């Protein structure tokens, strides 16, 4: 993380703030304001109550995500699919980091952040949980919000569709706690790999190694039987207690609303350590930094599914919210878009509430272009597909996310010439606007 921040700063992609900020609301408020105006990462050097700086907005930019997984001339979905294949069965994904100098302390030494007005307290939102499949021993990475209660206790939300929930249930059935570690300020490849949902036998740490292009240095934990990436800035060791549920919440979650107080799992903290000069990674839930990696990883999963189902799929995005999917195709026959819509709806049953299919001349990362294509390339009534009573994701007691909406925003088959987009010669990416401005004038 520190090396990555140094690279961002060297190229002018990091904002450094030396003014002291309050970890209760103020830091989050400044971070989201900056995020609205700039895609740059931010480093707060002085956070009240802690000696540790906070980095935030690190993963809010899609181009940086592409850089982390070394996309080159391929799109994110293509490159991630390649790396998932590379990681499968790779036994050489790790190496021993050797002796390490770590400082020991307690949770309250960290700059724990309170984000939203009604949040139940300070939450760790960027923490990556490391645990092992109790049957296979394969390590797993996942994100789960963690409410600070005391230096000995966090309360965490385990969604029933996550692998960590399955591991915990297996341990609980034996009346045993589940050992886990929480990484804060993990290397960028580890953060990206944790966003990816692999099959149960998949190893996200091996995927992080594939993203990096070399084995990950690992070190053993002190109080639990796990090894963790040695380059993580902060490691919280502990156990998820069996048969124990305590109140957690409210929490401002990714869809923009509060989740009210619920009975959730208890994480007993057994050890906290950090690297010398560590940087804490903060993350505002529902911000660009939260959504962009989740959207990219979800799009890659949908892309892989679609490529195995229908021809002509070029790219997929889940922006501007993970609840929608936009697919770019090279249209090959009448009804092609409808086939893609049906396949997309079945590709990820949690999130595909709205699916849109566009032609290859449309920028799928620009929702203005996507809506323009739907509104100008044919009828609204016959190119809209409504699928009723399809369940949404697991946490939906009122069925607010049931049903699916599909939009065919492609050109009518056989009439492509009528929809040739107008162009101005010279209006392209090669134009240097600075050549037309007066000296010192800026856009």
- The domain that holds 150 is classified in CATH as 2.30.110.10
Nearest to 318 by CA among 162, 197, 188: 197
- The reply to whether 180 and 264 lie within a common domain is yes
CA distance 177 to 165: 12
Task: Please identify which residue in the block is written with the tokens 């065919």.
Answer: 408
- The reply to whether 209 and 346 lie within a common domain is no
State the CB neighbour count (10 A cutoff) for residue 28.
25
**CB crowding 354-376: b at 16 or more within 10 Å, else e:** bbbbbbeebebeebeebeebbee
CB 364 within 8 A of CB 296: no
- The reply to whether 238 and 93 lie within a common domain is yes
Domain hosting residue 320, numbered range: 308-419
Number of folded domains that form the chain: 2
**3-state SS assignment for residue 85:** helix
Q: Which of 224, 250, 284 is the last residue of a domain?
A: 284
- The reply to whether 126 and 275 lie within a common domain is yes
**3-state SS assignment for residue 160:** coil
DSSP bridge pairs for 140 = 131
- The reply to whether 85 and 142 lie within a common domain is yes
Q: Which of 284, 316, 344 is the last residue of a domain?
A: 284
- The reply to whether 92 and 205 lie within a common domain is yes
The one-character DSSP state at 113 is B
**Number of helical (H) and strand (E) elements in the chain, helices listed first:** 10, 23
**3-state SS assignment for residue 305:** helix
Q: Looking at the whole model, is its pTM more than 0.85?
A: yes
| Torsions phi, psi for 367 (to 5 deg) | -60, -30
pLDDT tens digits for the chain (443 residues)?
999 999 999 999 999 999 999 999 999 999 999 999 888 999 999 999 999 999 999 999 999 999 999 999 889 999 999 999 999 878 899 999 888 889 999 999 999 999 999 999 999 999 999 999 988 899 999 999 999 999 999 999 998 888 999 999 999 999 999 999 999 999 999 999 999 988 888 999 999 999 999 999 999 999 999 999 999 999 999 999 999 999 999 999 888 889 999 999 999 999 999 999 999 999 999 899 999 999 999 999 999 999 999 999 999 999 888 889 999 999 999 999 999 999 999 887 778 889 999 999 999 999 999 999 999 999 999 999 998 887 877 667 777 778 899 999 999 999 988 999 988 988 887 888 888 898 888 77
CA distance 281 to 42: 10
For the chain, the straight-line distance linking the first and the last C-alpha, in angstroms and rounded, comes to 32
Question: Is residue 18 a part of any domain in this protein?
Answer: no
Q: Where are the alpha helices (DSSP H) in 178-270?
A: 188-195, 204-212
CA distance 221 to 79: 32
- The reply to whether 361 and 408 lie within a common domain is yes
Q: HSE, CB side, 13 Å, CA atoms: give it for residue 55.
A: 28
Question: Is residue 150 exposed (0-12), middle (13-18) or buried (19+ Cβ within 10 Å)?
Answer: exposed
Nearest to 141 by CA among 153, 129, 123: 129
Question: Is residue 39 exposed (0-12), middle (13-18) or buried (19+ Cβ within 10 Å)?
Answer: middle
């Amino acid at each position: 993380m520190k090396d990555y921040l140094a690279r961002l700063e060297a190229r002018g992609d990091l904002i450094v703030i030396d003014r002291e900020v309050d970890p209760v609301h103020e830091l989050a408020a400044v971070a989201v304001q900056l995020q609205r105006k700039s895609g740059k990462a931010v480093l707060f050097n002085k956070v009240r109550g802690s000696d540790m700086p906070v980095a935030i907005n690190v993963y809010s930019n899609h181009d940086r995500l592409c850089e982390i997984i070394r996309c080159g001339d391929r799109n994110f979905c293509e490159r991630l699919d390649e790396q998932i294949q590379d990681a499968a069965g790779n036994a050489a994904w790790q190496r021993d980091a050797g002796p390490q100098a770590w400082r020991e302390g307690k949770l309250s030494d960290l700059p724990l952040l309170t984000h939203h007005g009604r949040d139940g307290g300070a939450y760790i939102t960027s923490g990556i949980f490391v645990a092992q499949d109790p049957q296979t021993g394969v390590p797993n990475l996942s994100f789960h919000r963690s409410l600070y209660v005391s230096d000995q206790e966090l309360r965490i939300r385990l969604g029933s569709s996550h692998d960590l929930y399955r591991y915990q249930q297996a341990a609980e059935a034996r009346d045993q706690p589940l050992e886990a570690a929480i990484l804060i300020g993990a290397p960028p490849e580890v953060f990206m790999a944790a966003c990816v949902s692999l099959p149960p036998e998949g190893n996200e740490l091996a995927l992080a190694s594939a993203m990096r292009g070399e084995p990950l240095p690992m070190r053993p934990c002190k109080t639990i039987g796990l090894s963790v990436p040695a380059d993580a800035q902060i490691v919280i060791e502990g156990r998820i207690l069996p048969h124990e549920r305590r109140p957690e919440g409210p929490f401002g979650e990714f869809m923009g609303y509060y989740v009210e107080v619920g009975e959730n799992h208890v994480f007993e903290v057994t050890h906290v350590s950090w690297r010398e000069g560590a940087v804490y990674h903060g993350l505002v839930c529902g911000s660009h930094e939260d959504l962009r990696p989740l959207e990219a990883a979800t799009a890659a999963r949908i892309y892989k599914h679609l490529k195995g189902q229908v021809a002509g799929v070029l790219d997929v995005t889940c922006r501007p919210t993970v609840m929608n999917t936009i697919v770019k195709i090279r249209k090959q026959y009448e009804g092609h878009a409808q086939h893609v819509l049906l396949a997309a709806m079945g590709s990820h049953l949690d999130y595909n509430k709205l699916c849109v299919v566009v032609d290859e001349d449309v920028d799928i990362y620009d929702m203005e272009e996507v809506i323009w294509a739907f509104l100008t390339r044919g009828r609204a009534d016959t190119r809209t597909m409504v699928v009723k009573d399809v369940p949404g994701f697991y946490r939906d007691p009122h069925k607010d996310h049931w049903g699916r909406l599909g939009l065919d925003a492609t050109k009518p088959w056989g009439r492509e010439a009528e929809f040739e987009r107008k162009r101005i010669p010279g209006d392209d990416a090669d134009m240097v606007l600075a050549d037309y401005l007066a000296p010192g004038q800026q856009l």
